[in-house]
Structure 1
Amino acid sequence: MKKIMLFAMMAASLCFFGCNKKAAGKTAIRIAMVTDSGDITDQSFNQTTYQACKDYAESAKLDFQYYKPAGDSTADRIASIDAAYQDGYNVIVLPGFLFGEAITKVAKDYSDAKFIGLDISKGDLGGSEVPSNVFCAVYAEEIPGFFAGYAAVKEGYRHLGFLGGMAVPAVIRFGFGFVQGANKAAEELGVANDVTVEYVYGGQFYGDQTITATMDGWYKNRGVEVVFACGGGIWTSACEAAAKVNGKVIGVDVDQTAQINSYGEGMHVTSAMKGLGATVNAVLTAIQNNSWDTYAGQVSSLGLVSGSDLSANYVGLPVNTWSMKNFTVSDYQKLVTEVYSKSIAISDSIDALPAVSVKVNTYQNIK
């Protein structure tokens, strides 16, 4: 009896997926989003993705629902994807590399649904061929990392820190870009001998007492002025330490102005962002406009697409909450133009820390 009911549900879904079109020629889609190990209030990947999906669905008058897995495992994530599909959702958005294994398992079973993976690389998919009903976006993290390091030095900071989460490719690119940006600005200002970058990975994607203690040492004992906290919730440890000494913090992935400044007024310097919302909007629009072939079966690295229109780019710094004084939005616009035109080159290699003129102190993982 259960099998008959499931078959009936699936048959109805298939009819909906294949036959239901909007009168205006747009494909009628139902959008679902599944959270990874966090929830939609994480003030990071999940929340940004959720809001982008919700806003798009409301604007286009489409059904939208999010699902939170029961636990932090591939099996739990697959169960939520199964539930979304069986509930009739035919476009499923999955934020974060933790979905890599899940996508490879479900895409072939649900070939009539489309999957949008955010920050999921070919390696996260196990190196296998990307199914035609899957699009995954990765980001050129070295670019916003570069912007953040460059901005910090131009703003006047001379003792910087990079606190990464786990040493996965995305975090490494952020860190190596940060070092390159700090170095470029220091060389332009003629202060390379005065700039130091402390560099460490926490070994996890959340803050705790041990990581906070390390950050206490950086701010209090080493004289670090600003830390680029890069990796999930690890930024909380940087903020806890910074709050004790009026230190500064650079956010990551999304504009973390409000979150960081909640620990201390003016604590946030800038954030090295990925355009999760822009990606969601672009791909959902393509699906609705019957242009899925533009994305089908691809893993695309998204970065700068314009040297003049900052809002069009998939990586960058937030300008709406700009608080820096010495490094202005106009300065940033000029920098973006130079990077886009390749008059400034940024290496995306993660094989070894880039050779730079500024001093970089590297440490063993904290945990």
Structure 2
Amino acid sequence: MKKVLVLLLSFAMVAVMAGCGAPEEEQPEEQIDYDIAMVTDAGMIMDGGYSEVAWTAISKFGSEKGVSHKYYKASEASETAYKEVIDNAVDKGAKVIVADGYSFEDVVYNAQKEYKDVKFILIDAEPVDQESGKAKTGDNTAVVIFASEQAGYLAGYSAVKDGKTQLGFMGSTKNPTIMDYGYGFLQGAEAASQEDGVSVNVKYHYCTDDDDRNSILDMTSEWYQSGTEAVFACGRQVEQPVIEAAELNDKKIIAAETDKSQMSDTVMTSAVKDISGVLEELLKQYKSDEFPGGSAEYYNAENNGIWLDMENSRFSSFSKSQYDSIFDKIKDGSIVVKKYNSGDISSLGLSNVSVSEI
């Protein structure tokens, strides 16, 4: 039965790729200029995650407001390819460019200076010069930062409160956003373990260039077979293989960034960011000549920028009232969640949670 579930999941993904994984089919008809451009890395667009939500928000706004829009996907994961898609978008008339995440921090750092008449929106990253490490947000750039650490905290807290004491964290890469997810996850698990008087073990891994789909699947399967009950998977590189491992071993996964409940019955919950709502608001400000360039806007529990999906969750015992209680404590500042830059994992002061970094 487990093999059947995995095969069905694989067929479903093939169907998605066939139907919209030539995602260019979703593009507007060809024309001369496109006012709004979304530039992405070399991964899939319609992947159920960040990219799909961002593009759907752009398409909805463009269609409703009569604003032309198009996305440009990099041919490969490289700075050169990222620069090429931005150049291409500008050549096609882009007046505002939405950059698809952390991969574009260095490219946007330079592009905002080169194309001063173009507006840039960079989500979950700041424009940073790769050589010097200097961060600079130009007057034509709006930076959006979500509190990944708070979303991770909710994921870890809920998992332990649901009775799971053998956990895993799988990050697609070691960047600030992924690290914040992981640090928050550990702190949430620690808080819940102290309340319940239990010990928690967490297997913890950031992927490198040596990790491919098969190695992630194999590693996560080994975790599950050795007793891990749920894995927090952060990043689209890791989500699908972790889901397949969970299917094979009848275990659970916690997803990140968007509601992934439709991807598999193994998805226990998702740590969600309001990417769609925030992007729509920024595009409205752009259209009204009120673009908030030169600033970084932070979205967290206080302004409902992050949350844990409860509507489609598959918890055994963690309740909505428990969720509301912990969310309110983060929202009012009673609980402050440390970010990745607080130090290494030992700086989190974990006592009930043991971490095995792999």
TM-score range (shorter-chain normalised) is: 0.7 to 0.9
Distance in 1 (CA, whole Å) between partners of 2:168 and 2:79 is 34
% identical equivalent positions: 29
State the one-letter code of the partner of 2:213. D
Report whether the alignment pairs 1:216 with 2:221: yes
Q: How does 1:275-286 map onto structure 2 within 5 Å?
A: 275-286=274-285
Q: How far did residue 340 of structure 1 move?
A: 1.0
Q: How far did residue 349 of structure 1 move?
A: 4.2
Q: Structure 1: give runs of 5+ residues left out of the alignment.
A: 1-12, 17-28, 307-312
Q: Describe the shift of the 1:209–1:39 C-alpha distance in structure 2 as closer, same or farther (beyond 3 A).
A: closer
Moved over 3 A (4+): 122-126, 204-207
Structure 1 residues 334-361: Cα deviation after superposition (integer angstroms, max 9, x where no partner): 2211111111221124311111222323
Structure 1 residues 155-192: Cα deviation after superposition (integer angstroms, max 9, x where no partner): 1212111112222221111111001101111111222x
Alignment partner, residue 16 of structure 2: none
Q: What SS does the aligned partner of 1:234 have? A: helix
User: For 1:92, which of 94, 97, 104 is the aligned residue?
Assistant: 97
State the one-letter code of the partner of 2:321. S
Q: What SS does the aligned partner of 2:126 have? A: coil
Q: How does 1:1-367 map onto structure 2 within 5 Å?
A: 30-123=35-128, 126-191=133-198, 193=199, 195-204=200-209, 207-221=212-226, 223-259=227-263, 261=264, 266-292=265-291, 295-306=292-303, 313-350=304-341, 351-353=343-345, 354-364=348-358
Distance in 2 (CA, whole Å) between partners of 1:345 and 1:117 is 25
Task: Select between 164-173 and 319-328 the one with higher mean Cα deviation.
Answer: 319-328
Alignment partner, residue 22 of structure 2: none
State the one-letter code of the partner of 1:185. A
Distance in 2 (CA, whole Å) between partners of 1:168 and 1:240 is 24
Q: Which structure has the larger Rg over C-alpha atoms?
A: 1
State the one-letter code of the partner of 2:220. M
Q: Describe the shift of the 1:216–1:322 C-alpha distance in structure 2 as closer, same or farther (beyond 3 A).
A: closer
Q: Describe the shift of the 1:215–1:107 C-alpha distance in structure 2 as closer, same or farther (beyond 3 A).
A: same
TM-score, normalised on structure 2?
A: 0.83
Distance in 1 (CA, whole Å) between partners of 2:287 and 2:55 is 19
Q: How far did residue 205 of structure 1 move?
A: 9.9
Q: How far did residue 248 of structure 1 move?
A: 0.5
Q: Structure 2: give runs of 5+ residues left out of the alignment.
A: 1-31
Alignment partner, residue 18 of structure 2: none
Q: Describe the shift of the 1:176–1:317 C-alpha distance in structure 2 as closer, same or farther (beyond 3 A).
A: same
Alignment partner, residue 3 of structure 2: none
State the one-letter code of the partner of 2:230. V
- Matched-pair contact (CA < 8 Å) for 1:206–1:233: no
Q: How far did residue 217 of structure 1 move?
A: 1.5
State the one-letter code of the partner of 2:274. G
Structure 1 residues 296-327: Cα deviation after superposition (integer angstroms, max 9, x where no partner): 11233321234xxxxxx222212342332422
Distance in 1 (CA, whole Å) between partners of 2:54 and 2:39 is 10
Q: Describe the shift of the 1:174–1:52 C-alpha distance in structure 2 as closer, same or farther (beyond 3 A).
A: same
State the one-letter code of the partner of 1:356. L
Q: Describe the shift of the 1:54–1:297 C-alpha distance in structure 2 as closer, same or farther (beyond 3 A).
A: same
Structure 1 residues 126-165: Cα deviation after superposition (integer angstroms, max 9, x where no partner): 4243211011222221100000001111112121111122
Distance in 2 (CA, whole Å) between partners of 1:145 and 1:287 is 31
- Matched-pair contact (CA < 8 Å) for 1:205–1:233: no
- Matched-pair contact (CA < 8 Å) for 1:205–1:232: no
Q: Describe the shift of the 1:335–1:59 C-alpha distance in structure 2 as closer, same or farther (beyond 3 A).
A: farther
Number of residue pairs matched by the alignment: 322
Task: Select between 245-254 and 97-106 the one with higher mean Cα deviation.
Answer: 97-106
Q: What SS does the aligned partner of 2:41 have? A: coil
- Matched-pair contact (CA < 8 Å) for 1:204–1:234: no
State the one-letter code of the partner of 2:142. F
TM-score, normalised on structure 1?
A: 0.81
Compute the RMSD of aligned alpha carbons: 2.2
State the one-letter code of the partner of 1:174. Y
Q: How far did residue 109 of structure 1 move?
A: 2.5
Alignment partner, residue 26 of structure 1: none
State the one-letter code of the partner of 1:280. L
Distance in 2 (CA, whole Å) between partners of 1:57 and 1:299 is 24
Alignment partner, residue 310 of structure 1: none
